[in-house]
Amino acid sequence: MPIVLLKEGTTETKGNQAQRNNITAAKTIAEIVRTSLGPRGMDKMLVNNIGDVTITNDGATILKEIDVQHPAAKMMVEISKATDNEVGDGTTSTVVLAGSLLSKAEELIAKNVHPTVIVDGYRMASEKAIEILKNASTKVDPADRQILGKVARTSMASKLVSVNAEPLSKIVVDAVIAIAEKTSDNSLKVDPDSIKVEKKAGGSIEDTKLIQGIVLDKEVVHGAMPKRIEDAKIALLNAALEIEKTEMSAEIRISDPQQMQMFLEEENRMLKSMVDKISASGANVLLCQKGIDDLAQHYLAKEGILAVRRVKESDMNNLAKATEGRVLFNIDELSGADLGYAKLVEERKVETDKWVFVEGCKNPKAVSILVRGGSQRVVDEAERSVHDAVMVVKDVVEYPYITVGAGAPEVYISQKIREWSASLSGRSQLAVERFADSVEEIAIALAENAGMDPLDTQTQLRAKAALAKPKYGVDVINGKVADMAAKDIYEPLKVKEQVISAATEASSMILRIDDVIAASKSKESAPPPGGGMGGMGGMGGPNPYMDM
């Protein structure tokens, strides 16, 4: 009699079978994104269940959009997300590397190397790899616009916007430098939320602009208000210009018309006094997070004040940083000292919308990038590329080390790790060697995607890798191995470190699993009759699979 431990309908997959399933699922994910790696990588067209189309080359976006079911595949999706959040770039590389680490591990498992040995070997190798690369990277001046520009351009090289990388990278570098703040230990800190990226389809990518201030996708609230104010003194208010309605349902009985009149007049007087306070502070622009009553709008217009209502909280924070004003919660506290400044506040037409531009701020600590492009899909992808570029520039500003890209650092690491592995003994050496092979796969994938011969490229790269620093990489544009420093292909060391550590972590996590116990989800996915714990072991019953 078998002892039943698990609830009916639960499936358990054990040992080799569980491992094989997980590795296969994760590898499948890696294969999907592999062809999109690098400037010659292909884009993916993703259609979601309501028919929306996304065209992208961004690893994290691809994986976000496809609906992955298998738990191991989900882990791959998660590392690409984590990499996106941490460093903003290298998402495809992370997944490709994790995939090749797993497929090399599979070979070792087939030779009876225990997964724990592989995991240990990978961990040692990844630490060594990061150390090797750090020693071979170049320290830069975090305020060097030229270097930052090169890094930004490299991140855009693999995207749809690559033809416009020059002007876009300049915008991104200017934006990041504007908002970078010195910390107490004299390093720089960049808060990417201080760069508001607003997008609008129409025009072309070249029309993308940096605004020294904030763009609000809102219009001026009242038709009689001015649409343009120079030398704007801006009140930032997080309070309603309305008479508060009571929470309880109160009833006011009015017996004669005069009472009604008095009641309205009182309301009127209160609104007027609110507007008077704003006007008395010297403000000529009011940006309000809450509502503005019709009558208050009328009084504001009479005072010649330009007002916008229901501004988002994140915009209010950025407005305070850009204009050096203070967001107040109470109109009574408003004084001239709280007002922000902008050279110009103006409502402009952007395609069919009317937006308010708060610009020409002195030394703004928050700025906007208004992304334009021929169609919605183009601006969507351009926005993602701008985000990536902002992040890589941030990476270098905060951690000022760079390395040549284009597969050069990967080949370099792999060479050095192979040399180092000779000093190791035991089976973990095998794992370390496999790690070296896996890292090299990035360069091979770049070459393959450019239609180059992977073996030829590999041998040429290996022949050139004996230098003190990574230098020769896959010149995918000209289809040959070349000095990539001469081509200005530079990447943040931080991205490379994240790629290695995230990929190692994910592959180790997957390798350590030898037992998958899955509760039955619903009726349809319940196992066939007879499939209890006893029957399923080692057979790999109805495992969760990828559903795309």
**91: annotated active-site residue:** yes
Token pair of 107 as six digits:
């070979």
Contact with ligand ADP (CB under 6 A): which of 72, 489, 493, 516?
Answer: 489
Helix and strand numbers (H, E) in the chain are 16, 21
89 binds Mg ion, rule: CB under 5 A: yes
Rounded distance between C-alpha atoms, residue 359 and residue 323, angstroms? 9
84 binds Mg ion, rule: CB under 5 A: no
93 binds ligand ADP, rule: CB under 6 A: yes
From the CB of residue 362, how many other CB atoms can be counted at a distance below 10 Å?
12
29 binds ligand ADP, rule: CB under 6 A: no
**425 to 118, 297, 416, 431, 548: CA distances (angstroms):** 13, 79, 17, 11, 44
91 binds ligand ADP, rule: CB under 6 A: yes
293 binds Mg ion, rule: CB under 5 A: no
Report which of 196, 219, 91, 209 is spatially closest to residue 503, judged by C-alpha positions: 91
Kindly list the strands in the beta sheet with 195-201, ordered across the sheet, starting from the edge strand earlier in the chain.
195-201, 367-373, 209-211
491 binds, among Mg ion, ligand ADP, none (CB under 5 to 8 A by kind): ligand ADP
37 binds ligand ADP, rule: CB under 6 A: yes
User: Residues 84, 89, 315, 388: which is the catalytic one?
Assistant: 388
505 binds Mg ion, rule: CB under 5 A: no
Contact with ligand ADP (CB under 6 A): which of 491, 500, 536, 541?
Answer: 491
In the complex with ligand ADP, the residue whose CB is nearer, 170 or 365, is 170
448 binds ligand ADP, rule: CB under 6 A: no
Rounded distance between C-alpha atoms, residue 91 and residue 99, angstroms? 13
364 binds ligand ADP, rule: CB under 6 A: no
Q: How far is the CB of 453 from ligand ADP (least distance, A)?
A: 16
Q: Sign (positive/negative) of CA torsion 476, 432, 27, 386? A: negative
DSSP class per residue in 36-57: T-STTPPPEEEE-TT--EEEE-
Rounded distance between C-alpha atoms, residue 436 and residue 510, angstroms? 19
Encode 229-280 in three state secondary structure.
EEEEEEEEECCCECCCCCCCCCCCCCCCHHHHHHHHHHHHHHHHHHHHHHHH
Q: Which residue has the tokens 């309501």?
A: 50
154 binds ligand ADP, rule: CB under 6 A: yes
Q: How far is the CB of 371 from Mg ion (least distance, A)?
A: 18
At residue 365, what is the residue type?
K
Instruction: Tell me 422's DSSP state.
Output: T
Stretch that binds Mg ion, among 87-95, 106-114, 269-277, 407-415 (CB under 5 A): 87-95
315 binds ligand ADP, rule: CB under 6 A: no
544 binds ligand ADP, rule: CB under 6 A: no
381 binds Mg ion, rule: CB under 5 A: no
88 binds ligand ADP, rule: CB under 6 A: no
Rounded distance between C-alpha atoms, residue 464 and residue 447, angstroms? 16
In the complex with Mg ion, the residue whose CB is nearer, 65 or 303, is 65
**457: annotated active-site residue:** no
Report which of 324, 321, 276, 325 is spatially closest to residue 296, judged by C-alpha positions: 276
470 binds, among ligand ADP, Mg ion, none (CB under 5 to 8 A by kind): none
In the complex with ligand ADP, the residue whose CB is nearer, 378 or 481, is 481
Residue nearest to ligand ADP (CB): 405
Q: How far is the CB of 392 from Mg ion (least distance, A)?
A: 8
Q: How far is the CB of 228 from ligand ADP (least distance, A)?
A: 42
Contact with ligand ADP (CB under 6 A): which of 19, 41, 104, 452?
Answer: 41
**58: annotated active-site residue:** yes
Number of residues that bind Mg ion (CB under 5 A): 1
SS3 content of the chain, % helix, strand, coil (to 5): 50, 20, 35
Asked if residues 127 and 416 have their Cβ atoms less than 8 Å apart, the reply is: no
Token pair of 477 as six digits:
């544009």
**92: annotated active-site residue:** yes
Residues that bind Mg ion (CB under 5 A): 89
Residues that bind ligand ADP (CB under 6 A): 36-39, 41, 57, 59, 89-93, 154, 157-158, 405-407, 446, 474-477, 489, 491
Catalytic residues: 58, 91-92, 388
